[in-house]
Structure 1
């Protein structure tokens, strides 16, 4: 490999992955030069990265001294579209993920202060989150086009949320969830809580009906997430519709919605 021209080595390394390129840079000085080259790291970027950068709320926070530095800057959340969407790259694959803020979602009755309130919380990446005061009809929907995602990739969809100290009713019944891409629909049921008894119930229902996806789990950023479903992003441009609904009589309150995340799956069986 040391006898090959640098641009040739960079081209070969472009068929690997960002972590592999970093490992190759430790082999020799020739490999280091090729593995750190802009030619190589630009190949790990999505084709629409310039358009994504043009939508950044704070572009000055990105390290653009090289394509390698810019790549790893984009592996951290970047606010887009006036701060209503978050974007980042997966550092192991360069695949794209997005978080739609609560303001980009369709939340039934969210404009009525009797049922929902919009507030600022310091731990959120977005300017506002939606807090449920009291409803019997809980319905949250979100949409994203596959054209903005990485093609030929399995994605998982999560509701990012918390429960306040005034929470009630969220652990009584499961929510109906679905992810639809074209005519393909995946549906199931989830609990918007983290209680151990619901985890046990989840396991029993999984064995009997195989329809409960899960319960809320803790994230590294301090929020909670509950998996809504998954889908495959192919080459065709389609719309992905995400839905969460619980419309039975019991009143519910204390749910804090930050957004919906669409992120690539690491493994799929």
Structure 2
């Protein structure tokens, strides 16, 4: 998921037998109207049928029907260096389906290539983490296990609070927000993954509180104990619904364990994720 659509399409020149009607005789406009009923991967497969199907598959109105209604806002935000008027709708779709970084490379957005829905990742470096500048408590650790190549690691602290804010133009639909977390410090030893859990403590005493709010008045909260040392997990913060897609919505979210009767440690924070709610079971594949 998130990979771009290939721009090179093999063309079958066999348009039917000589002197008899064939697929190549179907008007391109009719083929394009038919292709609008297929998902993008199937459109690319059908483009290989013959030249007429290839040309019909490139029609702007075919790909505009697959783009979210707010795609121009997405292009302005995450493809700011591109000239929208010089790109075909297919090229725009291809580019938006790739992993696109913005905000100094600390956020990543892309369209799901099958559904055209938006997924957004926010790096730990975009989050406000209490005590992050004090290396007695927190450190940023480089790792290949993060799409941003870096995670925030908590050694030990009494007050743990992480706050995030994102202002983004989402297409219409229902979205879920998650934190990607792990207990235990990851490293490599002799080429093998190692997770040190010696500093993991305090998370089984009180649950972590998650909260979410949006600029249009939506709210959600939940509580959960952190468990499963050594494995990355997506902790559900809450859901929100986009009904007016052509304007930005501000989303505030947080996790907190601020009971100062005990210390907490050994927590890795990778990123926050906002994705369509139906993608919840697919997160591990992203």
* TM > 0.5: yes
- 1:255 alignment partner in structure 2: 267
Match of 1:179 in 2: 212
> CA 1:172 to 1:73, structure 2 compared with 1: closer, same or farther past 3 Å?
farther
**How many residues end up aligned between the 2 structures?**
235
Matches of 1:44 and 1:88, distance apart in 2: 14
The residue that corresponds to 1:194 in the other structure is: 228
TM-score normalised by the chain length of structure 1: 0.72
Q: Following TM superposition, by how much is the alpha carbon of 1:89 offset from its aligned partner in structure 2, in angstroms?
A: 0.9
Of the candidates 223, 226, 237, which is equivalent to residue 235 of structure 2?
226
Larger Rg: 2
The alpha carbon displacement at 1:262 in A equals 0.5
RMSD over aligned Cα, in angstroms? 3.3
Q: 1:42-121 residue pairs with structure 2 within 5 A?
A: 42-45=64-67, 46-55=71-80, 68=90, 71-72=93-94, 74-121=96-143
- Give distance in 1, aligned partners of 2:250 and 2:88: 34
Provide structure 1 residue ranges, at least 5 long, that are not aligned to the other structure.
196-215
**In structure 1, what is the Cα distance between the partners aligned to 2:139 and 2:26?**
62
Q: Distance in 1 between matches of 2:233 and 2:123?
A: 15
Tell me the distance in 2 between the aligned counterparts of 1:109 and 1:136.
10
TM-score (ref. length: structure 2):
0.69
2:255 corresponding residue in structure 1: 244
Aligned-partner Cα distance in 2 for 1:8–1:118:
56
Partner of 2:18: none
